[in-house]
């Protein structure tokens, strides 16, 4: 298991090495084109050192990479320095002093992903939370924060949801354990609005929302929640994120990725269909 920045350094280095090969350059020739020592190119490609977004752009220019989207993704993978050209993908810069590095890493990956698969066993995923629900979760998880900090964290949570309205929007597949839908976070009124929000978002064409009912018995999701990020244009770049109270762990080994993808597929098979899930949530809403 590795932390987010290490994952990104290794992945970014591998992609830059491949692009250098496609450009027909040796590491020494690449270094000469951008005015560096050869050892710097080697350190970047092996993931032994970090790399600034500006340095990534220099290498992309040297390798004559024309794919703007690919370039933007590689710049984003350079780290959480938030200096990228795309304002949409770096909006959290204004909250830099408030957000831990691990959370900035998570947001960066989420903003660049083309497909997000998530299992939730305790709370509604952040991308689907209402403001009041998000505020209740934030207060419970980070008790004692001043109101202005809670408000700022809620703003961040809501701003993350822009990926659902982007063009193109992120593809979102969610499996919710029934426990999520039985926990009245924020009180009856707040939770009723949250259930209504789930019904609303389930209608979006890019969202697949499924409920894993108690009647399904034991399942692989009992190990806890996880998120799988997949990205466009770069093969084998999936990342699994295991979220903890004070940090996040990122898994990148092929065997780990395969295990979590298979686990998610199994959970989808065990869960109610999207249509039956909508009916299940609607039934809870009627009784709320």
Partner residues linked to 227 by β-bridges: 118, 241
Long-range contacts of 276-284 (CB under 8 A, 24+ apart): 276/211, 277/176, 277/202, 277/209, 277/210, 277/211, 278/199, 278/202, 278/209, 280/181, 280/211, 280/213, 281/181, 281/195, 281/198, 281/199, 281/202, 281/211, 282/199, 284/181, 284/195
pLDDT at 2 over 80: no
pLDDT single digits (tens) 97-109:
788 777 887 888 8
CA 123 to chain centre: 16
Nearest to 47 by CA among 22, 69, 77, 76: 77
Q: The whole model's pTM is what?
A: 0.79
Mean pLDDT of 84-98: 61
Provide mean pLDDT across the span 197-208: 97
State residue 212's pLDDT score: 97
The tokens for 43 are: 């350190």
Separation of alpha carbons 221 and 121, rounded Å: 8
Cβ–Cβ under 8 Å, residues 193 and 201: no
Answer for the pair 42, 13: CB distance below 8 angstroms, yes or no.
no
243 backbone dihedrals φ, ψ, rounded to 5°:
-95, 135
Tokens of 148: 């202005």
Pairing of the two strands 171-177 and 115-120:
parallel
What is the model's pLDDT at position 83? Answer: 39
What does the longest C-alpha to C-alpha distance in the chain come to? 69
Give the pLDDT of residue 4. Answer: 52
What percentage of residues in the chain have a pLDDT greater than 90? Answer: 60
The mean predicted confidence, pLDDT, of the chain is: 87
- What's the pLDDT at 243? 72
Of 104 and 117, which is predicted with more confidence? Answer: 117
What is the rounded average pLDDT of the residues 148-155? Answer: 92
Q: Show the tokens assigned to 244.
A: 């903890």
What value does the mean pLDDT take over residues 7-18?
Answer: 83
> Does 84 have pLDDT greater than 80?
no
For residue 254, what pLDDT band results from cuts at 50, 70 and 90?
confident
The residue to which tokens 């009647």 are assigned: 215
Question: Is the pLDDT higher at 177 or at 47?
Answer: 177
């Amino acid at each position: 298991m590795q932390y987010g920045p290490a994952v990104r350094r290794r992945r970014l280095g591998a992609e830059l090495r491949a692009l250098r090969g496609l450009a027909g350059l040796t590491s020494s020739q690449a270094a000469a084109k951008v005015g560096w020592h050869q050892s710097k190119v080697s350190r970047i490609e092996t993931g032994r050192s970090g790399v600034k977004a500006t340095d990534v752009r220099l290498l992309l220019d040297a390798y004559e990479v024309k794919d703007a989207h690919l370039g933007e993704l590689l710049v984003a993978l350079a780290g959480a320095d938030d200096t990228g050209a795309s304002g949409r993908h770096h909006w959290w810069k204004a909250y830099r002093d408030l957000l831990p590095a691990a959370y900035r890493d998570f947001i960066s990956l989420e903003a660049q992903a083309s497909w997000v698969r998530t299992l939730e066993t305790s709370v509604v995923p952040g991308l689907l939370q209402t403001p009041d629900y998000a505020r209740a979760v934030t207060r419970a998880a980070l008790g004692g924060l001043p109101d202005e900090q809670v408000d700022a964290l809620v703003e961040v949570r809501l701003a993350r949801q822009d990926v659902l309205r982007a063009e193109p929007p992120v593809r979102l597949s969610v499996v919710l354990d029934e426990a999520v839908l039985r926990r009245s976070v924020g009180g009856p009124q707040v939770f009723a609005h949250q259930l209504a929000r789930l019904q609303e978002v389930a209608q979006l064409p890019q969202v697949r929302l499924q409920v894993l009912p108690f009647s399904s018995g034991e399942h692989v999701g009992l190990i806890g929640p996880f998120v799988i990020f997949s990205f466009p244009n770069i093969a084998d770049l999936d990342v699994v994120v295991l979220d903890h109270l004070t940090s996040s762990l990122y898994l990148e080994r092929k065997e780990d990725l395969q295990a979590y993808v298979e686990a998610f597929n199994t959970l989808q098979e065990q869960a109610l269909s999207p249509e039956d899930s909508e009916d299940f949530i609607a039934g809870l809403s009627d009784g709320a």
